[in-house]
Amino acid sequence: VTSRPPAPTPAAPPPPRRTPPRPRRRRAPPAPLSGPAPAAAGAGRGAPPGPPRAAAVPCFGISVDPDDILPGALRLIRELRPLWKPERVRTKRFTDGITNKLVACYVEEDMRDCVLVRVYGERTELLVDRESEVRNFQLLRAHGCAPKLYCTFQNGLCYEYMRGVALGPEHIREPRLFRLIALEMAKIHTIHANGSLPKPTLWHKIHSYFALVKNEINPSLSADVPEVGVLERELAWLKEHLPQLDSPVVFCHNDLLCKNIIYDSSKGHVRFIDYEYAGYNYQAFDIGNHFNEFAGVNEVDYSRYPARETQLQWLRYYLQAQKGAAVAPREVERLYVQVNKFALASHFLWALWALIQSQFSTIDFDFLRYAVIRLNQYFKVKPQVSALEMPK
pTM for this model (two decimals) = 0.84
Give me the sheet containing 261-264, strands edge to edge.
Answer: 165-166, 261-264, 269-272
> What is 75-125 written as a DSSP string?
HHHHHH-TTS-GGG-EEEEE---SSSEEEEEESSTT-SSEEEEEEPPTTGG
Domain 69-160 fold: Phosphorylase Kinase; domain 1 (3.30.200)
Mean pLDDT of the chain: 85
What mean pLDDT is predicted for residues 249-267?
A: 95
Q: Residue 280: beta bridge partners?
A: 251
- pLDDT category at 96 given cuts 50, 70, 90 is low
Question: How much is the pLDDT for 44?
Answer: 33
Q: Which residues belong to CATH 3.90.1200.10 in the chain?
A: 165-387
Residues 6+ apart with CB under 8 A from 388: 337, 340, 341
18 residue type, one letter? R
What mean pLDDT is predicted for residues 129-136?
A: 92
Query: b/e per residue, 107-116, with b = 16+ CB within 10 A?
Result: beeebeebbb
Question: How much is the pLDDT for 219?
Answer: 65
Spatial contact of 81 and 169, defined as CB atoms under 8 Å apart: no
Q: Which one-letter DSSP state was computed for residue 299?
A: S
Of residues 358 and 22, the one with the higher pLDDT is 358
> What is 235-285 written as a DSSP string?
HHHHHHHGGGG-PPEEEE-S---GGGEEEETTTTEEEE---TT-EEEEHHH
What mean pLDDT is predicted for residues 4-17?
A: 35
CATH number for the domain running over 165-387: 3.90.1200.10
Spatial contact of 356 and 315, defined as CB atoms under 8 Å apart: no
Question: How much is the pLDDT for 53?
Answer: 53
Question: Pairing state of beta strands 114-119 and 59-60?
Answer: unpaired
Question: How much is the pLDDT for 356?
Answer: 94
> Among 54-63, 325-334, 383-392, whose mean pLDDT is lowest?
54-63
Q: Which residues belong to CATH 3.30.200.20 in the chain?
A: 69-160
